[in-house]
Chains A and B, each alone.
Chain A
């Protein structure tokens, strides 16, 4: 079946450090891939997306590239800020299912000043 696997958290970094959160997926066909971010006490916000192989999604300094050969969609940011502290969810949508999301377990990022 379709699934998403994320690296375990929490991830604790100092401000201005480089961030990588690993995400791999299993899916039939050609899913679309997403990263959502959830700040404390809030709903999920779409951070970035990619709809086909080799697409790079980017937003607010975050990037992720859809790698079909490794079935991965790792999230990266060159220099994190304290305000990036949140839970990050990798997710996929596979076709024909009214845009139903399959989520990873989420990764808590804590950035220290």
Chain B
């Protein structure tokens, strides 16, 4: 089945130790998104790629970076995780076709814990 896959499902890292979360998709969608979701809150968009074009949200901390080496893969890098970065990180994709509003498809998320 075509889908959005996030690895790992659970990630534990130490305070200040860089961590990378990965996302892959078999939908061949041209847009990939990264969200941060804290308990009992809606997902918060961090950034997205439209093809190779990176689009950062204005309030995303510099500590968060992303890479999209090809259509299928996208990575979220947290350079120096703090305790406040513990959250669920969600990857999503969609197919943007100009004036047509296509839904986003989400992966199951990676739950990040900071020790």
Partner-B contacts on A (CB < 8 A):
31-32, 34, 36, 41-46, 49, 51, 89, 93-96, 98-101, 103-106, 108
The total of chain B residues at the interface (CB under 8 A) is 27
Contact A42 B108 (CB under 8 A): yes
Q: Closest chain A residue to B57 by CB distance?
A: A100
Contact A46 B103 (CB under 8 A): yes
Complex: A54 Cα to B29 Cα, angstroms: 28
- A51 to chain B: which residues have CB within 8 Å? 101
Contact B101 A32 (CB under 8 A): yes
B20 at interface, CB cutoff 8 A: no
Instruction: Pick the contact of B48: A46, A95, A98 (CB < 8 A).
Output: A98
Known A46-B105, A98-B96, A103-B43; further 4 A-B contacts with Cβ < 8 A: A31-B101, A93-B103, A94-B101, A103-B42
Contact A95:B99 (CB < 8 A) given known A43-B106, A43-B107, A46-B105: yes
Q: Closest chain A residue to B109 by CB distance?
A: A43
Contact A89 B42 (CB under 8 A): yes
- A96 to chain B: which residues have CB within 8 Å? 99
Contact B42 A105 (CB under 8 A): yes
Contact B101 A44 (CB under 8 A): no
Question: What does the 1/0 interface line of B73-107 toward A look like (CB < 8 Å)?
Answer: 00000000000000000101011100101111111
B41 at interface, CB cutoff 8 A: yes
- A94 to chain B: which residues have CB within 8 Å? 101
